[in-house]
């Protein structure tokens, strides 16, 4: 794997695809700088070598037209503060203004180009647009895992213009290594914790990882489709009755492969989807009518935690309850604590997928697990066994 450590950037301009698609508040201030901080080591390495950095990113979905609300000019101050370097800004990513800004860039300086998606050619993967962008750098660095599953001009097509001068930044290299650890090189036993609402949204992941894991913990809303498939009653719980055959086929395949599947045995049930609802502990396979399972129960958590603490490699994708409501957050918090403890004991833990990432950040676990993925869709597609175009373009 070719990374920025394979290059010396002295007197070179690095053209870096970053993922600065960050949330802005009502006053256009950056509300969460995590993605900027994640790209910092790559940018600083280049500057310390004596090179300069030209940053390209998208922000939101402007659909090929200039939208002042989605201008990257709003994030210049935040990027400058995170990097500790005054960041210059070009009012376009191609054309005369970009050419002038790049031309004036000196070693040790950073330039942020305007939103790539102000041009429809970006998402279309247009080669001419990619060629125009390619003029701005001597070496192309892809450090945007969050967009690596998109075959866009700046993430994939552009690489062909740098046949011998393209590489992964530290962030993207780290993501690839983390996923490889879970899928290929991790110590056994390997445990996957899959939560979330629907079996249908996780089926390709489950099918791809079953041959690589020893334990599969299933939580969240997915639970109730499995319960229904096995003849249990789920009350008013979220469920996919048309996916019960799919659930049974997963259990059969897991058994054939010698994978232990762990389903909840009890749940925290509520008489309403509300933080103020009445709650009761009920068997996971005997939830009464008028009640719905919204979190893992105490016996379930005891069993899940035992599996997690005996694991050497852990993938966590999806919460085990409606953690956004305080009344139903305990299960996800306890799973998080167990993953952190296992990590402390020497296990490798990868957390990925929007809701589980949100949970580890909300409850302060992000520094106690091995790796928190920055790319939701990209990580899911990697776990599904797909080769991401942005990664393939560097490896070719």
Percent over 70 (pLDDT), the chain: 100
Could you tell me the pLDDT band of residue 396, with boundaries at 50, 70 and 90? confident
pLDDT at 242 over 70: yes
Is 280 tagged catalytic?
no
Specify whether the CB–CB gap between 42 and 143 falls below 8 A.
yes
pLDDT tens readout for residues 157-193: 999 999 999 999 999 999 999 999 999 999 999 999 9
CA-based nearest residue to 111, from 28, 61, 52 = 52
The alpha helices in the chain, defined as continuous H runs, are: 34-49, 76-83, 95-103, 120-124, 127-134, 170-180, 203-209, 222-229, 244-257, 298-309, 330-344, 354-362, 376-383, 389-395
Region 259-288 average pLDDT: 97
CATH topology of domain 4-173: Rossmann fold (3.40.50)
CB atoms near residue 237 (< 10 Å): 21
In this prediction, residues 7-28 reach a mean pLDDT of 96
> How much is the average pLDDT of 192-209?
89
Q: How high is the pLDDT of residue 199?
A: 86
Tell me whether residue 103 is one of the annotated catalytic residues. no
Binding annotation: 19-21, 35, 58-61, 117, 150, 202, 293, 324, 353-356
Beta-bridge partner residues of 167: 141
The pTM is what?
0.88
Question: What pLDDT, on a 0 to 100 scale, did the predictor assign at position 59?
Answer: 97
Whole-angstrom Cα distance, residue 21 to residue 168?
19
Q: Measuring CA to CA, which residue among 218, 224, 328 is closest to residue 272?
A: 328
Q: Is residue 141 within 8 Å of 42, Cβ to Cβ?
A: yes
Please give the Cα distance from 77 to 79 (Å, whole number): 6
Spot the catalytic one: 35, 166, 212, 243. 35
* Location of each CATH 3.40.50.1260 domain in the chain: 4-173, 186-383
Tens digit of each residue's pLDDT (9 = 90 or more) over 310-333: 999 999 999 999 999 999 999 999
Paired residues of 3 in beta bridges: 168
pLDDT at 201 over 90: no
Residue tagged active-site, from 40, 131, 177, 198 = 198
Tell me what pLDDT residue 354 has.
64
Query: Using the 8-state DSSP alphabet, how is residue 162 labeled?
Result: -
Binding site feature residues for ATP: 202, 293, 324, 353-356
Token pair listed for 139: 């070496």
Buried b (16+ CB within 10 A) or exposed e, 157-189: bbbebbeebbbbbbbbbbbbebbebbbeebeeb
pLDDT of residue 56: 98
Among 64, 108, 232, 377, the active-site one is 377
- The answer to whether the peptide bond before residue 189 is cis (omega within 30 degrees of 0) is yes
Confidence of residue 282 (pLDDT cuts 50, 70, 90): very high
Q: How far apart are CA 137 and CA 145, in angstroms?
A: 20
Catalytic residue at 35? yes
Q: How confident is the model at residue 353 (pLDDT cuts 50, 70, 90)?
A: confident
Over 80: is that where the pLDDT of 292 sits? yes
pLDDT score of 382 more than 90: no
**What Cα–Cα distance (Å) separates residue 44 from each residue in 38, 85, 167, 294, 366?**
11, 9, 16, 45, 23
What is the four-CA torsion angle of 48, 6, 382, 379, rounded to 10 degrees?
A: -10
Superfamily of the domain at 186-383 = Phosphoglycerate kinase, N-terminal domain (3.40.50.1260)
What per-residue confidence (pLDDT) applies to 117? 97
- The Cα-based distances of 391 to 242, 272, 361 in angstroms read 36, 45, 27
Neighbours of 260 (CB within 10 A): 14
pLDDT mean across residues, the chain:
95
Residues of each annotated binding site for substrate: 19-21, 35, 58-61, 117, 150
More confident residue, 108 or 197: 108
Q: Check if 354 is active-site.
A: yes
Active-site residue identified among 64, 108, 354, 386: 354
| Cα dihedral sign, 304-261-212-222 | negative
């Amino acid at each position: 794997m070719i990374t920025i450590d394979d290059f010396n950037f002295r007197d070179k301009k690095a053209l870096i695809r970053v993922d600065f698609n960050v949330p802005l508040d009502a006053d256009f201030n950056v509300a969460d700088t995590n993605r900027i901080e994640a790209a910092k080591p790559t940018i600083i390495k280049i500057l310390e070598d004596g090179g300069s950095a030209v940053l390209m990113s998208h922000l939101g979905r402007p659909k090929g037209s200039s939208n002042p609300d989605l201008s990257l000019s709003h994030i210049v101050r935040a990027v400058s503060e995170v990097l500790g370097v005054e960041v210059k800004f070009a009012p376009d990513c191609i054309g005369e203004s970009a050419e002038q800004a790049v031309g004036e860039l000196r070693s040790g300086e950073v330039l942020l180009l305007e939103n790539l998606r102000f041009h429809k050619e970006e998402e279309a993967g247009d080669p001419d647009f990619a060629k125009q962008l390619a003029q701005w750098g001597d070496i192309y660095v892809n450090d945007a895992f969050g967009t690596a599953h998109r075959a866009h001009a700046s993430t994939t097509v552009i690489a062909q213009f740098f046949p011998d001068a393209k590489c992964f930044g530290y962030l993207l290299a780290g993501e690839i290594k983390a996923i490889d650890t879970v899928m290929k090189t991790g110590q056994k036993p390997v445990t996957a914790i899959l939560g979330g609402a629907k079996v249908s949204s996780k089926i390709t992941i489950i099918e791809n990882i079953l041959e690589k894991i020893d334990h599969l913990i299933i939580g969240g809303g997915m639970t109730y489709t499995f319960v229904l498939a096995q003849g249990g009653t789920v009350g008013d719980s979220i469920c996919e009755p048309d996916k019960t055959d799919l659930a049974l086929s997963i259990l059969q395949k897991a058994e054939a492969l010698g994978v232990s599947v762990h389903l909840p045995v009890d749940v925290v049930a509520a008489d309403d989807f509300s933080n103020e609802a009445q709650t009761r502990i009920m068997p996971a396979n005997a939830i009464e009518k008028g009640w719905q399972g919204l979190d893992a129960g105490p016996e379930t958590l005891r069993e899940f935690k035992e599996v997690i603490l005996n694991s050497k490699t852990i993938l966590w994708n999806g919460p085990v309850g409606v953690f956004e409501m305080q009344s139903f957050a305990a299960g996800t918090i306890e799973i998080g604590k167990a993953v952190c403890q296992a990590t402390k004991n020497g296990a490798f833990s990868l957390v990925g997928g929007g809701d589980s990432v949100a949970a580890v950040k909300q409850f302060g676990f992000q520094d106690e697990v091995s790796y928190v993925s920055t790319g939701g869709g990209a990580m899911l597609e990697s776990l599904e066994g797909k080769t991401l175009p942005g990664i393939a373009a560097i490896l070719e």
